Amino acid sequence: MNIERVELQRLIMPFKASFEASIGRMDKRDLVLVTVYDTDGNAGYGESTSFPFPMYNEETTDTVWYMLERFLIPTLLSAEITSPEEVNDLFAPIRRNNMAKAALEGAVWDLYCKQKGISLAVGLGGKKTTIDVGVSIGIEPTIDLLLAKVEGFINEGYKKIKVKIKPGFDIEPIRAIRKQFGPDVPLMADANSAYTMDQLNILKELDQFNLIMIEQPLSHDDIIDHAKLQKELQTPICLDESIHSVEDARKAIELGSCRIINIKVGRVGGLTESKKIHDLCQAHDIPVWCGGMFETGVGRAHNIAITSLTNFTIPGDTSASNRYWVEDIVEPEVALFAPGVLAVPTGAGIGYDLKPESVKKFLVRQESYNR
Ligand code: OSB
Ligand code: MG
């Protein structure tokens, strides 16, 4: 592959409104935008999904930048690869740091598809031309404020409503949503590892609300207790934080730790690993969906492309740009094509262009690395 130069840009982008989960409150993204250039004027884009603090996983925006600069970019620029699928193997000797790996691997995938003149979705083997999407809602200060948010997103047509829960904010908000909007709203809860098996009673109580799933109720590194829990619950368990690789997915499926998997491209180290997890789950009748990490349009475009694969049968968290951003860094903006539906772009690569003037507004640091 023709790869000549890599550029890193650190962007800080304020949210429209702050977002609270059991792991903490966030009011801005702090991300690394990766651009990989060839000698023909093509540019491929990727984005890190790390946060400034290590409360979702162990990575931070600082560690992502460090790993890219010190290990991953030198490894890529000193290698000769023929396809982006080889990047996964190239980075395999470097342990973990999946978000750093995914940011660079995603940019190589975009560049490759632009060089071939195909869309990223087609490059990944995607078949869908549109995808159904849902929305994730944080822990709100009051149940009334939560209900108002849910109503707004139902009105926009989002096909799945995911609400964050934590001990003390679980049964009552879910009961209130069911009471106000009825039994048919596609509803799920995400605990971000806030419970232990000592709270089995609360988790069992959630069974009465007919949730599509409960996401990552137990520890971020657990698949054993989740298997025990799944035996006690009617509601399907979905794993997020516990799955970092296709091997993790295989073990979780074998143990019965979950009936659904959330694939986040950053968490699992890239698009190639995401595709492997998708294929494994498909072979085991485990549906998957694409999680979100408050991505800019660049990360959203990657999420849309991977979601075009056929076993992404549950609406993911890839909401429109206006869910979080007053001003996104891509054009056109990622916008709903029909209520709750995004179109899969057909242009080359990710199918969205960067807006350099918007990038400049949020830019705090920039470095370039040559072969
Ligand atoms: O667990 O899915 C999660 C945001 C930050 C950290 C973890 C999670 C989330 C979300 C946001 O749910 C999803 C989105 O991008 O809208
Ligand atoms: Mg989650």
Write the pLDDT tens digit of every residue in 104-129: 999 999 999 999 999 999 999 999 99
Q: Identify the pLDDT of residue 40.
A: 97
Indicate the CATH number for domain 123-343: 3.20.20.120
Q: Identify the pLDDT of residue 129.
A: 98
- Does ligand 1 lie within 6 Å of residue 240's CB atom? yes
- Does ligand 1 lie within 6 Å of residue 109's CB atom? no
Query: 167 is written with which tokens?
Result: 């001990």
| Residue 28 is among the residues annotated as catalytic for this protein | no
Which residues are in the CB-under-5-Å shell of ion ligand 2? 190, 215, 240
Ligand 2 centroid vs 240 CA: distance in angstroms? 5
Q: Identify the pLDDT of residue 138.
A: 97
Question: What is the enclosing helix (H) or strand (E) of 154?
Answer: helix 143-155
Letter string b/e over residues 55-75, b meaning 16 or more CB atoms within 10 A of that residue's CB: ebbebbbebbbebbbebbbeb
Selecting among 101, 264, 275, 276, the annotated active-site residue is 264
List pLDDT tens digits, range 2-18.
999 999 999 999 999 99
Q: Would you kindly state where each structural domain of the chain is located, as residue ranges?
A: 5-118+355-370, 123-343
User: Is CATH 3.40.50.2300 the classification given to domain 5-118+355-370?
Assistant: no
Amino acid present at 228? K
Contact 260, 213 (CB under 8 A): yes
Going from the C-alpha of 321 to that of each of 215, 300, 302, 334, 360, the distances in angstroms are: 23, 8, 13, 5, 18
Question: Which one-letter DSSP state was computed for residue 70?
Answer: I
- Does ligand 1 lie within 6 Å of residue 57's CB atom? no
- Does ligand 1 lie within 6 Å of residue 61's CB atom? no
Torsion angle defined by CA atoms of residues 133, 312, 110 and 361, in that order, rounded to the nearest 10 degrees: 30
Comparing C-alpha atoms, which of 294, 303, 295, 298 is closest to residue 355? 298
The partner residues of 6 in beta bridges, in order of sequence, read 36, 369
Is 144 within any annotated ligand binding site?
no
Is 215 within any annotated ligand binding site?
yes
- Closest atom of ligand 1 to 138 CA is 12
Amino acid present at 252? A
Take atom 5 of ligand 1 and give the residue whose Cα is closest. Answer: 293
**Best mutation site among 18, 293, 300, 323 for ligand 1, i.e. most ligand atoms within 8 A of its Cβ?**
293
Q: Burial level of 212, CB count in 10 A (0-12/13-18/19+)?
A: buried
- Does ligand 1 lie within 6 Å of residue 351's CB atom? no
Going from the C-alpha of 283 to that of each of 291, 303, 317, the distances in angstroms are: 20, 21, 23
| Residue 128 is among the residues annotated as catalytic for this protein | no
Q: Identify the pLDDT of residue 253.
A: 98
Take atom 9 of ligand 1 and give the residue whose Cα is closest. Answer: 293
Residues contacting 95, CB < 8 A, separation 6+? none
Alpha carbons 267 and 46: distance in angstroms, whole number: 14
Residue given tokens 């106000």 in the structure block? 180
Alpha carbons 367 and 128: distance in angstroms, whole number: 37
Take atom 14 of ligand 1 and give the residue whose Cα is closest. Answer: 292
Q: Identify the pLDDT of residue 286.
A: 98
Letter string b/e over residues 332-363, b meaning 16 or more CB atoms within 10 A of that residue's CB: eebebeeebebbbbeebbbbbebbeebbeebe
Ligand 2 centroid vs 146 CA: distance in angstroms? 18
Strands 353-354 and 330-331: antiparallel
Contact 164, 190 (CB under 8 A): yes
Give ipTM to 2 decimals: 0.98
- Does ligand 1 lie within 6 Å of residue 217's CB atom? no
Q: Identify the pLDDT of residue 93.
A: 97
Collect the ranges in the chain with pLDDT lower than 70: none
Q: Which ligand has the minimum distance to the alpha carbon of residue 26?
A: 1
Alpha carbons 297 and 359: distance in angstroms, whole number: 11
Q: Which ligand has the minimum distance to the alpha carbon of residue 320?
A: 1
Return the sign of the alpha-carbon dihedral for residues 144, 16, 51, 123. positive
Q: Identify the pLDDT of residue 269.
A: 98
Take atom 13 of ligand 1 and give the residue whose Cα is closest. Answer: 292
Strands 161-164 and 135-137: parallel
